A and B are shown apart, each in its own frame.
Chain A
Amino acid sequence: GAGVSQSPSNKVTEKGKDVELRCDPISGHTALYWYRQSLGQGLEFLIYFQGNSAPDKSGLPSDRFSAERTGGSVSTLTIQRTQQEDSAVYLCASSTSGDRGNQPQHFGDGTRLSIL
């Protein structure tokens, strides 16, 4: 497809389990971003990739959260030992470049994560 693809679209899991969320950015987009959207908090930045490196991971809420990107393309966000407060929609976006902050970001439809 031409857009950003995220999987799974929905994930329900028990507290304490690990989850892995996947993002396929638009082909050729070097910059990739993860955001979290929850009720009452709005959209929060988690981490930014330029190529395979992550120059800004300041938004990751705790060391239970990690992310990687391989081949300058697919990215995975992993949450270990999930807690109920991790329930949210996790959104991925990509752009042609992270430079200067003027490039439009193209968002996927997100993964809705529910922790029981």
Chain B
Amino acid sequence: TQLLEQSPQFLSIQEGENLTVYCNSSSVFSSLQWYRQEPGEGPVLLVTVVTGGEVKKLKRLTFQFGDARKDSSLHITAAQPGDTGLYLCAGARSSGKLIFGQGTELSVKP
């Protein structure tokens, strides 16, 4: 059973386009974390959202946590080839254990 549904799983866009990745669950999490992973490396944390309705911005990336703390989205404005990579959302349990979505493989073509 996949507790965290992430979509889309694959996304190929042109440089300059905008995109949104969604992460949905029927469970409530202590926090929702977004990671980015490059080939051959471990995931690197981008942001943690904790409060329902919270919005955080990281340059061209905007992260939102749903009011009920069950879902989240990542929006990238004017994507660049350097944004290419695997994006992972993860819901945190109170123990800190992370439940990961399937990941979104993003390819931004120049």
Physical interaction between A and B: yes
Count of chain B residues near A, Cβ 8 A: 27
What's the minimum C-beta distance from B37 to chain A, rounded to whole angstroms?
Answer: 8
Q: List 30 A-B contacts (CB under 8 A).
A: A4-B42, A33-B98, A35-B98, A35-B100, A42-B101, A42-B103, A43-B98, A43-B100, A43-B103, A45-B97, A45-B98, A45-B99, A56-B97, A91-B43, A93-B42, A98-B96, A99-B96, A100-B30, A100-B94, A100-B96, A101-B29, A101-B30, A101-B31, A101-B92, A101-B95, A104-B48, A106-B45, A107-B42, A109-B41, A109-B42
Chain A interface (Cβ < 8 Å from any Cβ of B): 4, 31, 33, 35, 42-45, 48, 50, 55-56, 91, 93, 95, 97-110
> What separation, in Å, do the CA atoms of A95 and B43 have in the docked complex?
14
Contact B40 A102 (CB under 8 A): no
Main secondary structure of the interface of B (DSSP, over half): loop
Chain B interface (Cβ < 8 Å from any Cβ of A): 29-31, 33, 35, 40-45, 48, 50, 88, 90, 92-103
> What separation, in Å, do the CA atoms of A95 and B44 have in the docked complex?
13
